[in-house]
Amino acid sequence: MIYLDHAATTPLDPAALQAMLPWLQDRVGNPASDHAWGRAARAAVEHARNQVATLLGAQPEEIVWTSGATEANNLAIKGALEFRGLRGAHLVTARTEHKSVVDSVRQLESQGLRVTWLKPDAQGLISVEQVLAALAPDTALVSLMWVNNETGVINPVEALAPLLRERGILFHVDAVQAAGKLPIDLSCTPIDLLSLSAHKLYGPQGVGALFVRKRPRARLSPQLHGGGHEQGMRSGTLPTHQIAGFGEACRIAAEQLAGEGARLSALRDRLQQRLQTALPGLYLNGHPQSRAPGILNLSFEGVEGESLRASLGDLAVSSGSACSSATREPSYVLRALGRDDELAGASLRFSLGRGTTSAEVDQAAQRVIDAVATLRRIAGSGTAAPVTPPINAHAYATPVWAAFSNPAHATALPEGAITAAAGSPAGALRLRLQAELQDGRIVRAAWQAYGCPVTLAVGEWLAAWLEGRRAGELRLTAADLRAALEISDDKAQCALLGEDAVLALERQMSLA
């Protein structure tokens, strides 16, 4: 396995683990308790608070612990606007923000908050001019991420912050992908609220922080109540071990910031160059210069996204599309950049980290080149080697654009064959069935499909099932397909596609 998904989560740094272990083993104590063990735990918490503040150029008392960046974003946005009051309030944010920002804002919007949603340019940037043009006399808050988590684009938050301060408007920045990767000095940059997460900079999962400026004071209404911890802004017993690991991770990040950033930029450019040299029809999602060191997002023309990802096997990269239980929707971030659904779905986010080597980058590039070339070749030819039974929906590691139900049928059926098709535009799935009839009975069947591995399994299973049947015998439901192929809930649309294709074929047979 080559791990290139550091924007999703980073491995725990060994030094951060060592900082955590005492609080998981022989040390006990609630940081809020007033005895020796409690005071020792509180000292560890405050030491970590100072380490986080140092990374950000902040004061320790400006760091509020949270369970992660999602909670920090919720506390910043909801807390600031609820303290101010939603009546007559206006907020400016971008369509490409993290879901924890987007959904928090939409929740407040449903309660009457007026929101301006900014659309980035084709390279994913939100400009200072865009933000300023969107401001109104009643604008209470601007929320803009420092580095986009999908594209790596760096927004001009440092230039924007003083302009918002002059206007008396609170500025919240989601810095999850920036902290520990880019220099941040909040003593010079007048950001009011800033969110970060430990597990994006080699700390433990389950802990984060919100910077809340003291001077001038950013006021928040708490979202969790009970005990008045963290200066009344976030109640709850503090996880000493996680906080200790977070602090140590920030210390290491501060030490390695400059050298690691340059190294990752070089590796990212090496990966991009190798892919662009070998593969035409490649699109960079993001800005070629204004981007974070370790993130590269590319769309691959002429392949289906899930097929590409399934064919990469032991290469851990992220999809540019978000999956739901019923349909696959392309990334809202990439669609905001102007990518169509197919290109947005056929995207990969490579995010490099401390352990990434040049050899791994070269190996990853070759795996992607081979996979894309194979899928494009198959798509262009319209044929492929058959998959050998037994058929198992979970066994398809290398999807194909076209295949046939039997080695003997590896050529197209006669022109007179009945053809029926079904498709799911939202899911970028297509399935075509062909049947050669003799005396009303199917003597040969074939299939073609474009989509995920489960779609291909459905096509092959149906072609085998169809042979020997008459029109009145094509009674098959999506539930039957799910049972036969053990299709999970999140792939139910593939079974529905198969049912639709069979119904369409039966209608064609009845007309023949």
For the chain, give every domain's residue range. Answer: 10-254, 257-379, 402-511
- Would you say the C-alpha torsion 47, 50, 55, 56 has a positive or negative sign? positive
On whether the CB atoms of residues 435 and 445 are closer than 8 A, the answer is yes
* pLDDT tens for each residue of 7-60: 999 999 999 999 999 999 989 999 999 999 999 999 999 999 999 999 999 999
User: Distance (Å, rounded) from C-alpha 171 to C-alpha 381?
Assistant: 54
pLDDT band at residue 265, thresholds of 50, 70 and 90? very high
Average pLDDT for 263-267: 98
- Output the pTM of the full model: 0.80
User: Distance (Å, rounded) from C-alpha 108 to C-alpha 81?
Assistant: 9
* pLDDT tens for each residue of 330-369: 788 998 998 888 888 889 999 999 999 999 999 999 999 9
Beta bridge partners of residue 419, listed in sequence order: 434
CATH: 3.40.309.10, 3.40.50.300, 3.90.1150.10, 3.40.190.10. Which one for 257-379?
A: 3.90.1150.10
Average pLDDT for 304-326: 70
188 catalytically annotated: no
Chain-centre distance for alpha carbon 285: 14
For residue 417, what is the enclosing H or E element?
none
pLDDT band at residue 457, thresholds of 50, 70 and 90? confident
User: Distance (Å, rounded) from C-alpha 338 to C-alpha 96?
Assistant: 12
Asked if the model's pLDDT at residue 486 lies above 70, the reply is yes
What the block records as the tokens of 435 is: 């049947």
* pLDDT tens for each residue of 83-118: 999 999 999 999 999 999 999 999 999 999 999 999
- In whole numbers, what is the pLDDT of the chain averaged over residues? 88
User: Distance (Å, rounded) from C-alpha 500 to C-alpha 485?
Assistant: 17
Region label for 353, one of left (φ > 0), alpha (ψ between -120 and 50) or beta (otherwise): beta
* Straight-line distance from the first to the last Cα atom of the chain, in angstroms, rounded to the nearest whole number: 52
Fold type of domain 402-511: Sufe protein. Chain: A (3.90.1010)
What the block records as the tokens of 142 is: 């601007």
Average pLDDT for 156-177: 98
User: Distance (Å, rounded) from C-alpha 448 to C-alpha 451?
Assistant: 10
Q: Phi and psi for 281 in degrees, rounded to 5?
A: 65, 40
Asked if the model's pLDDT at residue 382 lies above 60, the reply is no
Domains 257-379 and 402-511 share a fold: no
Average pLDDT for 159-175: 98
Q: Return the pLDDT at 128.
A: 98
User: Distance (Å, rounded) from C-alpha 93 to C-alpha 142?
Assistant: 6
Q: Is 400 helix (H, G, I), strand (E, B) or coil?
A: coil
Q: Return the pLDDT at 414.
A: 62
Is domain 10-254 given the CATH code 3.90.180.10 in the classification? no
What the block records as the tokens of 185 is: 């000095």
Extract long-range pairs of 101-106: CB within 8 Å, 24+ residues apart. Answer: 101/73, 101/77, 101/143, 101/145, 101/174, 104/73, 104/74, 104/77, 104/78, 105/77, 105/143
Q: Return the pLDDT at 417.
A: 81
Give alpha helix (H) positions in 7-35.
Answer: 14-24
Q: Which entry of 188, 323, 452, 494 is annotated as an active-site residue?
A: 323
